[in-house]
Amino acid sequence: MKEGKPFEISKHQVMEAYKCVKANKGASGTDGVNFTKFEENLKNNLYKIWNRMSSGCYFPASVRGVEITKKDGKTRLLGIPTISDRVAQMVVRMNFEPQVEPIFCDDSYGYRPNRSALDAVGTARERCWEMPWVIDFDIKGLFDNIDHELMMKAVCKHTDNKWVIMYIERFLKAPIAMPDGTVQERNAGTPQGGVISPVLADLFMHYAFDWWMKQKHPQNPWERYADDAVIHCRTKEEAKVLLVQLKERMTECKLEVHPNKTKIVYCRSDVYPEHHEHESFDFLGYTFRRRIVRSRHGNFFNSFTPAVSKGASQHLRDSVREIRRKHKVASLEELAEQMNPVLRGWMNYFCKYSAGEARNVLNYVNLTLIQCIRYKYKSTGRKHLKSHKLLGRICKEQPNLFYHWQMGLRPSVG
């Protein structure tokens, strides 16, 4: 480190931070600089970040606000920092995350190493068999409403590193450039899309919810992934009382339980056969409800279990339809190149539980491929060639062309 720098930050760590940021890809921020442009002068750009951070004079640019459409048709505002700011945030995260990760609870799954959404789904599945009532709740606009004063109080509890504290506060207060061109100051929230935001959100929810549950309601297990969580209860009365207390707790922490996404659910099955108002809930893309399942001994029974949700199924159909729309004259090989990453990620996630329902959704992909073949040959002299038979022939010749074919979901044609 050069003499006169008030903060000890290594150049090596800045380089490692850049590698992590680049691996995550992402769009450009308000400066319009993408990775290609950033790397035209990479050494100098990284030096500037190191020099300013170690001098204490690094100030983040405004965050670029981008609206994305959610599954329910509403929009969510993402905040995209510049590449330089993402690198700076990663440097801070690399120094701060090891301080807080060990204190997080086992049932907190969001954005944590060696934990996944599928782990949370699997744990929820088993606990729904043991306890018949669930509080399914969602925090309204968690990333937009985190109180900065409470957030910094939690940060300072776990580090006395002056530059880490200073830069986290600056990142929190960085203004956001809205899609309409206006620039808004931020008095609350940490932008969803920022490198350090997941760690900060988890730390905030650790004290707002996780630790509170551990201290006040240790008899009620739960699973939480960011702002999406479920709590397990033994009786409906217990769930009602706990939900009231949960709402009060969130109010204390200046958060709000989402009124339209929160309900008490009965885990109906052969073990719990009664009827109640709500008998299903969605959690991390899966719908939990009563289903007929087959035991390892071949017997059929009704169990409360997860399977791919309607929203997740529709999302796959929309993605496949959009790929086809953008590549109308593409060959099947070109379509496979575009579709396979989507199919691979979707299948690896949604075929984990109740795979049969996920496989039914994938039939849509084969139907889409048949339509592609029909479109391609509609103006040729091969009208007599049945498109579904041709797809079956291609599948026999190239069984590994599409990812779902590799997994045995091939078109049932000759």
- Residues 143-183 have pLDDT tens digits of 999 999 999 999 999 999 999 999 999 999 999 999 888 99
Q: Which of 103-107, 125-129, 313-317, 410-414 has the lowest mean pLDDT?
A: 410-414
Residue 136 confidence (pLDDT) above 50? yes
Alpha-carbon distances of 154 from 121, 207, 223, 261, rounded to whole Å: 28, 8, 22, 27
Residue 365 confidence (pLDDT) above 80? yes
Who contacts 258 (Cβ-Cβ below 8 Å, separation ≥6)?
137, 138, 139, 140
Look at residue 191 in the predicted model and tell me its pLDDT. Answer: 84
Look at residue 412 in the predicted model and tell me its pLDDT. Answer: 66
Residue 403 has φ and ψ, to the nearest 5°, of -60, -40
Q: Rounded CA gap, 311 and 285, in Å?
A: 7
Look at residue 294 in the predicted model and tell me its pLDDT. Answer: 86
HSE toward the beta carbon, residue 47, CA cutoff 13 A: 5
Segment 127-145 shows an average pLDDT of 94
- Residues 245-277 have pLDDT tens digits of 999 999 999 999 999 889 999 999 999 999 999
Q: What percent of the chain has pLDDT over 70?
A: 95
- Residues 46-93 have pLDDT tens digits of 999 999 999 999 999 999 999 887 766 677 888 999 999 999 999 999
- Residue 338 structure tokens: 């575009």
Segment 102-131 shows an average pLDDT of 95
pLDDT band at 105 (very low <50, low <70, confident <90, very high): very high
Look at residue 2 in the predicted model and tell me its pLDDT. Answer: 47
